[in-house]
Amino acid sequence: MSISSFQRHCTIPYAHFLTGVDSSAPALALADSNAQLNGWQQSQYTFLKNDIVKYMQQQIVEGTRWDLVVLDPPKLAPNRKSLNRALAKYRKLNTLVGDSKMSQQLLL
């Protein structure tokens, strides 16, 4: 997960804080570097190394709410053989956020 132009424009300066979650340490390092290059202050964001499904489940239990949740999942289906598994994970992510009332807005 690198910080995309879309995420930059949706968050800073409009949002007070951004939480980014990814299971890849190199992606998180890139996201942090990109945030710094774009002039973000450390107090405006955090990047966490975690499985997104586990993280979202934990946040539901804790009652966390956000103004906006943006799901930008990785390409999980590099070939037809992995399509069903990928679709299941995409559905799980969308269902977790949609059913949990974590946010009033969801962008996919």
Give the pLDDT confidence of 58-97 residue by residue, as tens digits: 988 888 888 777 777 777 788 889 899 888 888 888 888 7
Domain range 5-107, its CATH number among 3.40.50.150, 3.60.15.10, 2.60.40.10, 3.40.50.300: 3.40.50.150
Q: Report the pLDDT value the prediction gives residue 1, as an integer from 0 to 100.
A: 42
Burial class, 20, CB count within 10 angstroms (exposed 0-12 / middle 13-18 / buried 19+): buried
Q: Report the pLDDT value the prediction gives residue 2, as an integer from 0 to 100.
A: 47
The pTM is what?
A: 0.75
Kindly report the average pLDDT of the chain as a whole number: 79
Give the confidence band of 48 by pLDDT, cuts at 50, 70, 90: very high
Per-domain boundaries in the chain = 5-107
Res 6 pLDDT > 50: yes
Give the pLDDT confidence of 12-47 residue by residue, as tens digits: 566 678 888 888 899 889 888 888 888 888 888 889
The structure tokens 């996919």 sit at: 108
Q: List the beta strands (DSSP E) in the chain.
A: 18-22, 45-49, 69-70, 106-107
